[in-house]
Structure 1
């Protein structure tokens, strides 16, 4: 496959994923009237997947620094698969669950009262300080991951290294912040 084909494929996948996430977060596609019983467990599964990816990414870095390309490659394949599973689970959750969760919404009515806002205070600001870059970087890192993954599998080491300088820290931030976002928002889940 040519680089041109790979770039087009990566661009198409990235645009498709971003559109699907936006459409689902805006509730533009009707989901089922009643979510299946497993649906409330998907955010926890996503946090576990993100946490596992964090550990795998750091372990992969360790092994490549040791010169063990085989283990590095295997760990990255596992991480890629778990991140793909995360994406499927994330999309499934937002398709099935038709309610939004707001940070600080103690009573679950979807509207933050003055007392709820006051109680959330600085933690609400911190939550958005972590969440906003998480969302932006999660969308932006997808093409970097796909391209660096392709170059790594093809053993195009120089191209892989150039992309990984950017992809690795961004992907690591996204996986770590994903867990933090879950831990911060989960007390306000009402489903």
Structure 2
């Protein structure tokens, strides 16, 4: 593929925008509902291991990698290098997917983590956490929609959606790392 040509998947061209958005919203709603149940209602198990306790650090690393890859992808598209842009963004998607898998495994065994910090840091932490949670619910359908639009050849709409997707995805990735460090420092 020439770096100045976009890449499309013929199968996605045959799926209407409405059907694609409906499937994306369904997958996103089921995923978010599952995560809320897993973290806040299921509770953790009694199983502990070094591997499980090291997953939050891995999650922070994966979120950091996603953020860096997104910035490289942004730079590539600004330089009109579609091939690099696609590779960086797909790799960011893979690191975010590995993050999600690791996050589910961790919370399956651990449950939720309480923040014990006091004073001025407490409202800062909860502002970051709450905004992170709200935007993480929005980022999955935005990411999936951006990929659908790009790979189905709907590039004008892809550009419009991606102008929202990129900052939200970056914010969720960066604040995920911030939540990790705040929990480590104050819990």
What TM-score do the two structures reach when normalised by structure 1? Answer: 0.84
Report the alpha carbon displacement of residue 89 of structure 1 after superposing the two structures with TM. Answer: 1.1
Distance between the aligned counterparts of 2:124 and 2:116, measured in 1?
A: 11
For the Cα contact (< 8 Å) 1:50–1:175, is it kept in 2? yes
Distance between the aligned counterparts of 1:187 and 1:61, measured in 2?
A: 32
Report the alpha carbon displacement of residue 32 of structure 1 after superposing the two structures with TM. Answer: 4.0
Aligned to 1:51: 64
Q: Select which of 26, 29, 38 maps to 1:24.
A: 38
Number of residue equivalences: 173
Aligned to 2:165: 167
1:70 aligns to 2:83 (yes or no): yes
| Gaps in structure 1 of 5+ consecutive residues | 105-119
Cα deviation code 1:116-144 (max 9, x no counterpart): xxxx2101111112111111001112111
Distance between the aligned counterparts of 2:179 and 2:113, measured in 1?
A: 15
| Gaps in structure 2 of 5+ consecutive residues | 1-14
For the Cα contact (< 8 Å) 2:44–2:112, is it kept in 1? no
For the Cα contact (< 8 Å) 2:60–2:176, is it kept in 1? yes
Cα deviation code 1:3-23 (max 9, x no counterpart): 232112101111111111110
Secondary structure at 1:173 match in 2: helix
State the structure with bigger RCO (CA 8 A, min sep 6), 1 or 2: 2
Distance between the aligned counterparts of 2:142 and 2:17, measured in 1?
A: 14
Aligned to 1:144: 142
For the Cα contact (< 8 Å) 1:141–1:170, is it kept in 2? yes
Secondary structure at 2:119 match in 1: helix
1:102 aligns to 2:100 (yes or no): no
Alignment of 1:114-129 (within 5 A): 120-129=118-127
Aligned to 2:52: 39
Distance between the aligned counterparts of 2:70 and 2:112, measured in 1?
A: 32
For the Cα contact (< 8 Å) 1:36–1:96, is it kept in 2? no
1:4 aligns to 2:2 (yes or no): no
What TM-score do the two structures reach when normalised by structure 2? Answer: 0.86
